[in-house]
């Protein structure tokens, strides 16, 4: 997975598990180093009339941190998850319904927002909700010597002077979510934005691999496929 990244970009190995929660419509767990996040998605499901929207589906999110006790950061994560879902999920396809997203942070060791977004994307795909594109989260930190590093651990984040989390989507490679804190110049910010895109491309490749594995294993899926006859393939996509 790390083959096509520049030499200066090093990220921790990423692993995923799909469809782990039996009752959910979609679920995924993503681990990057010691950071691990699990996401469960129900939907589209019934929503109370007071909350329903006649034109699109409402997205409700709940984030629970690793320490069990609620913290104000949870609300920030909830807002982040909801905003990204609203950007990517085609909400007009399911009016008057609700999509419930539950995020459980299992262990935190840096880059937690990026890991959360990755798990969110896989869970949305697992649930079969219509999406405009996939999205990937990349976490970047600027060290004291002004060099950038990617996928920092918690310790590295503490020592850094600026922390960035970018979420890219793969249809036009635009960035759909940014969370940046610390102190950085405009030039440093744009450099981080442009370089982090490479990591996102790797993550998209990883998503495809994860899904192919899942599709091959799924018995119901095998049942659905008709025998594919060579010669009747659609035009190859560009």
Partner 1 sequence: MADDFKIAQPKQYQRLFLKDEIRPDGRALTGCREVKIHVNAVSSALGSAMVCYGNTRVIAGIKGRFAEPTINNPNSGYLIPNMILPMTCNTKYRPGYPDDAGVAMSNKLNTLITDITDLMELCVVPGKVVWSLNLDVVCINDDGNVLDAAVLALSAALNNTWLPATRVMEETGRVLVDPEGERSRLELKFIPIAVTLSVFDDKTLPDPSEDEENIQSGSVTCCIDDQSKIRAMWSSANLSDDVISAALVYVQKRASVLLSVLRKVSKTS
Partner 2 sequence: MDIVRAPYKRTRVIASQGEDLEQHIVTPGDVITQNLDFMKSHGTALSHDHICATVAGAVYKVDKLVSVKGVNNRYRGEIGDVVVGRITEVQQKKWKVDAGSRLDSQLQLTSVYLPGNISRRKTLNDELMMREYFTEGDLVVAEVADVGNVDGMLKLHMRSNKYGKLPEGVLIKVPSVLIKRSKLHFHRLPCNATVILGNNGFVWVGPHFSPDQPIEPFTLNSRETIARLCNVIKALAAYGVQLFDTIILTAYDISMKYKVKELLNAEVMEHVAQESYEHSLHQNL
Residues at the contact surface with partner 1, assessed by CB under 8 A: 72-73, 75-76, 78-80, 83-84, 87, 162, 169, 172, 174-186, 189-190, 193-194
* Residue 56, binding choice from partner 1, partner 2, none, Cβ under 5 to 8 Å by partner class: none
**d(C-alpha 158, C-alpha 83), whole Å:** 26
**d(C-alpha 107, C-alpha 104), whole Å:** 9
For partner 2, the binding residues in 138-167 under the rule CB under 8 A are none
* Residue 224, binding choice from partner 1, partner 2, none, Cβ under 5 to 8 Å by partner class: partner 2
Asked if residue 224 binds partner 2 (CB under 8 A), the reply is: yes
Residue number with CB closer to partner 1 (76 or 215):
76
Smallest distance, Å, CB 218 to partner 1? 32
Q: Figure out which of the listed residues 8, 107, 171, 174 binds partner 2, where binding follows CB under 8 A.
A: 171
CA of 87: how far to CAs of 80, 101, 147, 177, 201, in Å? 11, 15, 31, 9, 19
* Residue 213, binding choice from partner 2, partner 1, none, Cβ under 5 to 8 Å by partner class: none
* Residue 64, binding choice from partner 2, partner 1, none, Cβ under 5 to 8 Å by partner class: none
Smallest distance, Å, CB 25 to partner 2? 6
Smallest distance, Å, CB 170 to partner 2? 5
Asked if residue 227 binds partner 2 (CB under 8 A), the reply is: yes
**Cβ neighbours around 155 below 10 Å, total:** 10
Q: Figure out which of the listed residues 87, 97, 161, 201 binds partner 2, where binding follows CB under 8 A.
A: 97
Asked if residue 208 binds partner 2 (CB under 8 A), the reply is: yes
Q: Identify which of 62, 28, 21, 58 has the alpha carbon closest to the alpha carbon of residue 43.
A: 58
- Strands 58-64 and 98-107, how do they pair? parallel
Which runs of E-coded beta strand occur in 47-161?
Answer: 58-64, 98-107, 135-142, 148-150
DSSP one-letter code for 31: E
**Cβ neighbours around 6 below 10 Å, total:** 9
* Residue 119, binding choice from partner 1, partner 2, none, Cβ under 5 to 8 Å by partner class: none
Asked if residue 194 binds partner 2 (CB under 8 A), the reply is: no
CB 9 within 8 A of CB 199: yes
**d(C-alpha 102, C-alpha 120), whole Å:** 9
For partner 2, the binding residues in 98-127 under the rule CB under 8 A are 125-127
**Cβ neighbours around 45 below 10 Å, total:** 13
């Amino acid at each position: 997975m790390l083959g096509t990244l520049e030499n200066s970009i090093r990220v921790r190995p990423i692993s995923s598990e799909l469809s782990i929660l039996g009752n959910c419509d979609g679920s995924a767990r993503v681990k990057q180093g010691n950071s691990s996040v699990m996401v469960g998605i129900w939907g589209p499901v019934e929503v109370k009339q007071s909350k329903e929207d006649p034109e699109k589906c409402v997205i409700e999110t709940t984030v629970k941190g690793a320490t069990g006790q609620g913290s104000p950061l949870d609300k920030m994560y909830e807002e982040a998850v909801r905003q990204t879902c609203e950007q990517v999920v085609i909400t007009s396809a399911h009016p008057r319904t609700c999509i419930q997203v539950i995020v459980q942070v299992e262990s935190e060791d840096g880059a937690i927002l990026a890991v959360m977004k990755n798990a969110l994307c896989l869970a949305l795909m697992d649930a079969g909700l219509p999406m405009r594109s996939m999205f990937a989260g990349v976490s970047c930190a600027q060290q004291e010597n002004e060099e950038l590093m990617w996928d920092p651990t918690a310790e590295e984040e503490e020592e850094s002077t600026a922390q960035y989390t970018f979420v890219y989507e793969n249809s036009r490679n635009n960035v759909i979510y940014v969370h940046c804190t610390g102190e950085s110049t405009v030039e440093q910010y744009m450099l981080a934005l442009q370089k982090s895109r490479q990591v996102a491309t790797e993550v998209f490749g990883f998503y495809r691999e994860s899904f192919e594995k899942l599709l091959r294993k799924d018995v119901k899926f095998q049942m659905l496929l008709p025998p594919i006859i060579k010669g009747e393939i659609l035009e190859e996509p560009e």
